[in-house]
Amino acid sequence: MDFLIATHNMKKRNELARILEPLGINVLTAEQAGIELTDVEETGETFEENARLKAVSGCRESGMPCVADDSGLCVDALGGAPGVYSARFAGEHGNDALNIEKLLKELAGVPEGKRTARFVSSVCCAFPDGSEITSRGTCEGEIGFAPRGNGGFGYDPVFMVGEKSFGELSPEEKDKLSHRGNALRAFAENLAYVRLTETTVPKAVRYTLVSKSLNSSKAVLSHLCSTPLSSSESTASSAQSFSAVCEEHLQKATIISATLCENTLSPRAFCVLHEAVRAVISSCSSVARLIRISVFSSGER
């Protein structure tokens, strides 16, 4: 089955194709499909809004399922900038070198440990019947002090994950970690559910899929909650608060999962609730990150 991707960026097209090919989906650019698409003005205030604008427009003009993403870099020290303006941060759309140069100038004097940032990606697929699927993915990291590596595109050379920049990772390594990879995997899962030929998702299938996802997340969060950050009283209090918040979110995820597994749901309703599970689990990860940054910044770790 052919899907159109609303981008002229072949690197994005290839990244999308690598993840969707196992579902039997052939990803085409407008040029490959012999279609001329209108350039959509990204007037949305969020990544989700911009992704939807492009997907709906591409679907309407082509008559094909159309996938679009909007992604960007959010830097904590810059109040979340450049955000939805990432591609045109320096004024000229898509000039990676100028965007990176401006970013590093804006962060001049900001020390290591205070340069936290995340890549965010929202993927939307619009179908000719009017239905849509949307997913979101993030990747946490820090901004380096100089570009490293020749791979990737955009801000990849200055986005550090551990000891390497995205620009130093192989495509396969990047796919496993990246915001777009995470968003596309969630999208692929939702698409697989929606493409089930039955009018409802079988209970056995729902139970297996959701339980596997939830149990895996519980194991990770349980480890985070039980890992001491230090022996200091204030840090122990932070860790205890973190554990309580995680437990609250896990209870919410468990309740939603029970709904997923026990009730008769359409594939689309299943997707919506499954995204809710992902959201509460993502909240736990955010709490973990904030507490560990707080502890690091206070010098207790």
Instruction: Based on the fold, state whether residues 120 and 230 are members of the same structural domain.
Output: no
What pLDDT, on a 0 to 100 scale, did the predictor assign at position 167? 93
Confirm whether pTM is higher than 0.75.
Answer: no
Instruction: Based on the fold, state whether residues 7 and 118 are members of the same structural domain.
Output: yes
Instruction: Based on the fold, state whether residues 190 and 80 are members of the same structural domain.
Output: yes
Instruction: Based on the fold, state whether residues 187 and 57 are members of the same structural domain.
Output: yes
pLDDT band at residue 47, thresholds of 50, 70 and 90?
A: very high
* Rg over CA atoms, the chain: 20
Instruction: Based on the fold, state whether residues 123 and 219 are members of the same structural domain.
Output: no
Choosing from 194, 227, 250, the residue where a domain stops is 194
Instruction: Based on the fold, state whether residues 186 and 208 are members of the same structural domain.
Output: no
Distance (Å) of CA 231 to CA 113, 122, 223, 226, 299: 21, 40, 17, 13, 13
Instruction: Based on the fold, state whether residues 228 and 100 are members of the same structural domain.
Output: no
Choosing from 132, 160, 194, the residue where a domain stops is 194
Instruction: Based on the fold, state whether residues 89 and 185 are members of the same structural domain.
Output: yes
Instruction: Based on the fold, state whether residues 150 and 60 are members of the same structural domain.
Output: yes
Tell me the range of 15-29, 173-187, 207-221, 268-282 where mean pLDDT is highest: 173-187
Residue 44: count of CB within 10 angstroms of its CB: 17
Which residue is listed with tokens 């965007």?
A: 99
The residue from 2, 39, 69, 70 that is catalytic is: 70
pLDDT band at residue 298, thresholds of 50, 70 and 90?
A: very low
pLDDT band at residue 75, thresholds of 50, 70 and 90?
A: very high
Q: Which residues of 101-110 are buried (b: 16+ CB within 10 A; e: fewer)?
A: eebbebbeeb
Instruction: Based on the fold, state whether residues 264 and 178 are members of the same structural domain.
Output: no
The domain of 249 spans: 203-297
| 76 is known as an active-site residue | no
Encode pLDDT of 117-169 as tens digits: 999 999 999 988 888 888 999 999 999 999 999 888 899 999 999 999 999 99
Q: By three-state DSSP, how is residue 124 classified? A: strand
Choosing from 138, 165, 194, the residue where a domain stops is 194
Helices (H), 2-95: 10-20, 30-33, 47-62
How far apart are the C-alpha atoms of 184 and 170, rounded to whole Å? 18
Total structural domains in the chain? 2
Instruction: Based on the fold, state whether residues 147 and 290 are members of the same structural domain.
Output: no
Beta bridge partners of 27: 3
Distance (Å) of CA 299 to CA 3, 162, 199, 232, 293: 50, 20, 56, 11, 10
Instruction: Based on the fold, state whether residues 135 and 250 are members of the same structural domain.
Output: no
